[in-house]
Amino acid sequence: MKIKDKTRKFLFLATAVLGFLSNDLQAQKKSDSFTKNNLTAMSEYLSDTEGEAFKLFLNNSEKVNAVLGKDKAQYALRLAISKAYFQGIDPVKKPNFDWADLQRTMKSRFGEIGIETLYGKQMIYYLDAKDWSNYGKYYMLYFEKALKRPEYEVNNITWPLFENVSDPKVLKFACDVVMKYAMEEWYQNDPTSWDTYANLLYKTGKKEQAIEWEERVVKQSNQDKVFLETLEKMKKNLPTWSDTVAKL
């Protein structure tokens, strides 16, 4: 009986020590997670939205960004969510797709970053479908959330909106909010993007500003023929977009 009692006591103490060490290691592990090397490695393998690395990024985005840089957590989370939930959703394979279940999932599981990801995918879906009404709608919803951290090339995603959308509210948002910000942040020396901005100015009724910008485009592009033609149309009060634009 004495041997058994000693054995039980030893096992109890051993278990307690192991438990203490385990808790200590867990605390140390959590602290060590927020090193640049560890977070960088995690961000590259974040595809499992059930995994601990994903949860760490989701629940500690500010800490992650403080180490890796502005919005790095959000970029990594969006990519992981996209791979897990949005593969194969396009208007050819899934026409008239019902987004309701995905919207509930994004909101309940991932919060704002889930909704942001959803809006981006809806925007691209309706662009591919040439559903210009919904494209304009989700362009606004997406850039209201993701303007400072877009996962899509802003000029490329805005040009088809200029060409095909006629909703004044959407066009004004694209011109005065999205492209204005993009010009200041990324397109200081890009005449192609200036042209998009000038065309949006023109389509939203700011003719004088549009001509000023298009003249810069022509000069910067060494008198490119396409830009010269656009400038002439502006001066003659002619549309610079297709006459076959689908009306909203």
Average pLDDT over residues 60-66: 95
Q: Under a CB-based contact definition with an 8 Å cutoff, are residues 175 and 204 in contact?
A: yes
Say which residues have a Cβ less than 8 Å from residue 89's Cβ, sequence separation at least 6: 97, 121, 125
Average pLDDT over residues 92-102: 94
Say which residues have a Cβ less than 8 Å from residue 40's Cβ, sequence separation at least 6: 68
Task: For residue 162, give Cα distances in angstroms to 194, 246, 247.
Answer: 13, 12, 12
Cut 0.95: pTM above it: no
Look at residue 139 and tell me whether its pLDDT is greater than 70. Answer: yes
Output the pLDDT for position 229.
96
Output the pLDDT for position 28.
43
202: left (phi over 0), alpha (psi -120 to 50) or beta: alpha
Backbone torsions φ then ψ of 137, nearest 5 degrees: -60, -50
28 burial via Cβ count (<10 Å: 0-12, 13-18, 19+): exposed
Output the pLDDT for position 17.
32
Look at residue 18 and tell me whether its pLDDT is greater than 60. Answer: no
Higher pLDDT, 81 or 48: 81
